[in-house]
Structure 1
């Protein structure tokens, strides 16, 4: 749920144009910068992969990007947050080093970004169920295994993507070398209550009467329904007090960097807001079905990246769950200077965790070569 506030505000920019009138084309001020970034990150190794595919999943066309410097490396599938907040346009800020060790797949999920543009929103809207996203993910995992000749994949979930990822872990562990959770959701209602308490305490300590008043009007929070802007009102102050990006009052650095992505056009960026407007309340209406507290055994290794300052999806419930679960392997990696975006806030530590704690599972199964000293 990391980007809800920003996406909500962005959706307000989608003002209909009067019939018969066309707005003048917008100057693309970032085109040259995108081209520079694109050339800088271009895969040139003879054994590398740099591909974009439109894959038919769950009856609709869905867009993926596949990048890596050696096709013998394990495949890593990244499940983005939101819902409908693709990581593809931000991936250039942190992913390049990963591509030395993994073939990394960014997927614009149902109604997200480029996938949103590839389909009729009216036809997709009735299909926006958590079960359908999970089925899409399993279909994509199988497509990747068949296309790139791998026994299994590494699955990385972030924020909303962890709901999908945990379901795949529970229902199809035989397809996974490991599951990695970033900004993991175990029980969303617990997360919302913890985030609310954090924001209210921080606002009171700051002497911010306006914030205290806005938050107190939400009580009791989260209640039984987060729709109607309630979750956005809570996120506003969680973000302001560093519970989204550590030590920062906002995450503009992350959102603005997406404009320089060579993977995305301005039209693709505008589709993100439209996708959020289509998906958010539909997913929130199903939020009370999400509860992994009772999952006590899983069939694949689990690694959790825990942001010490994350109050968007707080880390302590994840650490508690991980300490109790029966798994082939379980590891909690605390990120002391991160909130909700460990790969961007502490990119070096994220890379070390993936290489040292996750990649060996794939190597042991024959889907990658041991690293040279």
Structure 2
């Protein structure tokens, strides 16, 4: 028996040692790839800036990354979409750093900011609270980077926050840029349903017609039933062009410097955390947000960069009705809602062509004799 115990003890020690070796090897491998990413991200330009830190904002400390090759360039604050903090994939946006000092902000309920808060979300935090954080961050950036106005980019859910920021404090911003622009979720749901129904009625997808007919048009009770329609769109229609696989995104995330495994796990579980910790009333209020109550008047140029498959025809009537000193609606062919990340270089070219001149000329306020520009759709190859 004693020999058996000795053998078992030695076996357990061996298994533990193997586990430690495997774990240590994985950690070493990850550290190697993080080092490689850090080398690619390093900014050597004499007048460049590469800064990352937690900034104290009204709802708590939040992670902010500032990157650019020349601090004289206009500042571009990116307000990310739901579930996709751009700071985690900063390498995708390196091409932008020649034209802008790019600022990636992890909102309070996402990514490293959520991890910093111990994975806890204020159950009452809604769009207005994020707007307050964004405006406080804008003031911080203006002081830190010595810029009177900055350019503001809102993506998807983040476009609600960014558009409200632009409306409330136009004196802080040179130009507003929206992509995957939120306008009216309920109306957009019906627009997508009708679009899919029209495709189904061509006779190419009888099974889609049967599913849509059985579901009927939105709105649904409960609203979460919309997911039954939402999952059909990428199956039967083009919703994105070339894009990274989930495996590529995970490998990229694991290789990101400054991100611990706790940060990554918190980010991965953020959607579930939001639904679990935030009250249903706040969650529903965020879902039914509409752009219309903000009015039609904006005191800065307005630019939308929409993917071809992201229903630019839906946002056009709202955009056409805006009154602004300049307007531009740019369509990126062959891409969709995630064009900002999946086609980041092409998106950066659109920023260079359509946003950079406005950001420069409006950095110190309205230029003299600024003409009112009518909206125009400009495909970007």
Give me the TM-score of the superposition, normalised by structure 2: 0.78
Q: Tell me, what secondary structure is at the counterpart of 1:126?
A: coil
Distance 1:336 1:342 in 2: 10
Residue of structure 1 equivalent to 2:45: 45
Q: Tell me, what secondary structure is at the counterpart of 1:62?
A: strand
Distance 2:51 2:244 in 1: 36
Contact 1:66 1:106 in 2 (8 A): yes
Distance 1:359 1:226 in 2: 39
Higher mean alpha-carbon deviation, 280-289 vs 53-62, is at 280-289
Displacement, 1:167? 0.7
Residue of structure 1 equivalent to 2:115: 117
Residue of structure 1 equivalent to 2:100: 102
1:257–1:231 CA distance, 2 compared to 1 (3 A):
farther
Q: Tell me, what secondary structure is at the counterpart of 2:104?
A: strand
- Give matches, 1:285-364, under 5 Å: 285-287=284-286, 289-293=288-292, 295-310=295-310, 314-364=311-361
* Residue 181 (structure 2) pairs with residue 221 (structure 1): no
Contact 1:245 1:339 in 2 (8 A): yes
Q: Tell me, what secondary structure is at the counterpart of 2:323?
A: coil
- Give matches, 1:1-373, under 5 Å: 27-28=26-27, 30-82=30-82, 84-93=83-92, 95-122=93-120, 124-199=121-196, 207=205, 209=207, 218-223=215-220, 225-227=222-224, 230-241=225-236, 243-246=238-241, 254=249, 257-280=252-275, 282=278, 284-287=283-286, 289-293=288-292, 295-310=295-310, 314-365=311-362
Distance 1:252 1:222 in 2: 34
Q: Tell me, what secondary structure is at the counterpart of 1:285?
A: helix
Displacement, 1:241? 3.9
Displacement, 1:74? 1.1
Unaligned runs of 5+ in 1: 1-22, 368-373
1:342-365 Cα offsets, whole Å, 9 max, x none, are 234444432232122212233224
Q: Tell me, what secondary structure is at the counterpart of 1:164?
A: helix
Give me the TM-score of the superposition, normalised by structure 1: 0.80
Aligned length: 336
Q: Tell me, what secondary structure is at the counterpart of 1:88?
A: helix
Contact 2:152 2:175 in 1 (8 A): yes
Distance 2:272 2:59 in 1: 22
Alignment RMSD (CA, Å) = 2.9
Quick check: which has more Rg, 1 or 2? 2
1:251–1:328 CA distance, 2 compared to 1 (3 A):
farther
**Bigger RCO of structures 1 and 2 (CA < 8 A, at least 6 apart):** 1
Distance 1:181 1:263 in 2: 28
Higher mean alpha-carbon deviation, 246-255 vs 147-156, is at 246-255
1:117–1:242 CA distance, 2 compared to 1 (3 A):
farther
Distance 1:357 1:34 in 2: 34
Unaligned runs of 5+ in 2: 1-18, 365-381
Residue of structure 2 equivalent to 1:19: none
Q: Tell me, what secondary structure is at the counterpart of 2:340?
A: helix
